[in-house]
Amino acid sequence: MSTITTLDELLALYGESHERSRRKELPRLIEPYRALIEASPFVVLASVGPDGLDCSPRGDAPGFVQILDDQTLLLPDRPGNNRIDSLRNIVENPRVALLFLIPGVGESLRVNGRAEISLDPELLELGRAQGKLPRSVLRIHIDSCYFQCSKAAVRSGLWDASRQVERASLPSAGDIFRCIYEEFDIEAYERDMQQRLRTALY
């Protein structure tokens, strides 16, 4: 057998999970979980829709994902590439998952729940940053949350400064676009991108 095709085969290979890994999954936030969210400047948002899956990075100053209560989060939608893949999915299927990362911290926090796209003026105001309102906010109702241990971060050396990659050693966004388009002005694109990073983050 070279492929696992049933849950019984999967459990025979891995066995049961440890009681600790099951008990840490809770239907609401506890104070330590709240602290991780409040310290996180970066979260990955996963969603699913009729055209497939999406996994989207979201980032801002720590605390940009706000805790409305122990079962509700608020995630403002900042300007991006306007593909709105995540939002399209949420319109069709509210199920989402979040992975919160904190620089220098090995543990991460996972949240599963259901999101709705809100234009409530009070919620938009809560998402204000740099004097600007988000176009919309996600109100996320928590179904389960649990912390992930630091093994993945330790194995990857994610926060090890000595293992950081020099940006110039990899293709730039302009280089990637040149491979997609037969004729592409990398210099103009990179110049425009730097301008957008200065003026259009919010």
Tens of each residue's pLDDT in the chain, 202 residues: 699 999 999 999 999 988 888 999 999 999 999 999 999 999 999 999 998 999 999 999 999 999 999 999 999 999 988 999 999 999 999 999 999 999 999 999 999 999 999 999 999 999 999 999 999 999 999 999 999 999 999 999 999 999 999 999 999 888 898 889 888 888 888 888 888 888 888 9
Residue type, 145: C
Strand 42-49 versus strand 95-101 pairing type: antiparallel
Residue-level pLDDT at 188: 87
Domain residue extents for the chain: 18-156, 165-200
pTM across the whole model: 0.93
CATH class of 18-156: mainly beta
Nearest to 56 by CA among 96, 110, 102: 96
Residue type, 193: M
Residue type, 160: D
Residue-level pLDDT at 58: 97
CA pair distance 197, 202, nearest whole angstrom: 9
Residue-level pLDDT at 1: 61
Length of the chain: 202
- Ranges of beta strands (E only) in the chain are 42-49, 52-59, 66-69, 72-76, 95-101, 108-118, 137-148
Per-residue exposure over 72-102, b if at least 16 CB sit within 10 Å of its own CB, e if not: ebbbbbbeeeeebbbbebbeeebebbbbbbb
Residue-level pLDDT at 145: 98
Per-residue exposure over 39-49, b if at least 16 CB sit within 10 Å of its own CB, e if not: ebbbbbbbbbb
